Amino acid sequence: MSAPARETHGTAWAEDAAAFQTGAGRRVAPWIADFRKLGLDGFRELGFPAPKQEDWRFTNIAPIAGARFPFAASPGPGVSSASLAPFLFDSPDWTRLVFADGHFVSSLSSIGEWDGADIQSLADIMPSGHPVAERHIGQCVPTGTNGFTALNAACLNDGVYINVGEGETVKKPVLLVYLAVRDEPFAAHPRNLIIVGDHAQLTVVELFVSLTGGAHFTNALTEISAGRRSVVDYYRIQQESPLAYHVSSVGVRQEELSSFSSASINLGGALTRNNLSVELAGEACTTVMNGLSIVDGDRHVDNQTALDHASPRCESEELYKAIVDDRARSVFNGKIYVRPGAQKTDAKQTNRNLLLSKNATVDTKPQLEIFADDVKCTHGATVGQLDENQLFYLRSRAMDEQTASQLLTYGFANDIIERISLEPVRAYLHRAQSSALHTAAAIGDLQ
Partner 1 sequence: MEPILRIRNLHAEVEGKEILKGVDLIVNPGEVHAIMGPNGSGKSTLAQVLAGHPAFTVTEGSIIYKGQDIQETAPEDRARDGIFLAFQYPIEIPGVSNSTFLRTGLNEVRKRRGLPELDAFDFVELVKQKAAMVQMDQSLIDRPVNEGFSGGEKKRNEIFQMAMLEPSLGILDETDSGLDIDALRIVSDGVNQLRSPDRAFVLVTHYQRLLTYIVPDFVHVLFDGRIVKSGGKDLALHLEEYGYDAIKQEADAANGVSN
412 lies in the site for partner 1, by CB under 8 A: yes
| Amino acid identity, position 157 | N
CA torsion sign for 212, 157, 293, 94 is: negative
> What is the smallest separation between the CB atom of 421 and partner 1, expressed in angstroms?
15
Binding track, positions 329-368, relative to partner 1; x by CB under 8 A: ----------------------------------------
309 versus 352: smaller Cβ distance to partner 1: 352
435 touching partner 1, by CB under 8 A: no
Q: Which of 339, 367, 415, 424 binds partner 1 (CB under 8 A)?
A: 415
Q: Which stretch binds partner 1 (CB under 8 A): 7-15, 242-250, 339-347, 394-402?
A: 394-402
The least CB distance from residue 288 to partner 1, in Å, is 17
Contact 270, 242 (CB under 8 A): yes
DSSP string spanning 192-206? EEEEE-TT-EEEEEE
Please, what is the minimum distance in Å from the beta carbon of residue 433 to partner 1? 10
Is 399 a binding residue for partner 1 by CB under 8 A? The answer is yes
Task: Kindly indicate which of the ranges 14-22, 280-288, 363-371, 391-399 contains the residues binding partner 1, using the contact rule CB under 8 A.
Answer: 391-399
Q: In the complex, what is the shortest distance from the CB of residue 402 to partner 1, in angstroms, rounded to a whole number? A: 10
Burial of 211 (0-12, 13-18, 19+ CB in 10 A): buried
Residue from 114, 393, 421, 441 touching partner 1 (CB under 8 A): that is 393
Indicate whether 398 belongs to the interface with partner 1 (CB under 8 A).
Answer: yes
Minimum CB distance to partner 1 smaller for 314 or for 417: 417
What beta strand segments (E) does 228-373 contain? 231-239, 245-254, 259-266, 271-280, 286-295, 300-309, 315-324, 329-338, 346-355, 361-370
Residue span binding partner 1 (CB under 8 A) among the ranges 159-167, 230-238, 276-284, 409-417: 409-417
What gap in Å lies between CA 321 and CA 46, rounded to an integer?
31
DSSP notation for 81-129: HHHHGGGSTT-TTSEEEEEETTEE-GGG-B--S-SSEEEEEHHHHTTS-
Handedness of CA 255, 423, 83, 107 (dihedral sign): negative
Whose CA is closest to 257, among 211, 219, 215, 200? 200
Cα distances (angstroms) measured from residue 65 to each of 42, 199, 432: 16, 42, 30
Determine, following the binding rule CB under 8 A, whether residue 413 of this chain makes contact with partner 1: yes
Measured from the CB of residue 400, what is the shortest distance to partner 1 in angstroms?
5
The count of chain residues that interact with partner 1, using the rule CB under 8 A, is 30
Q: Which residues bind partner 1 (CB under 8 A)?
A: 388-390, 392-401, 403-404, 407-408, 410-418, 442-443, 446-447
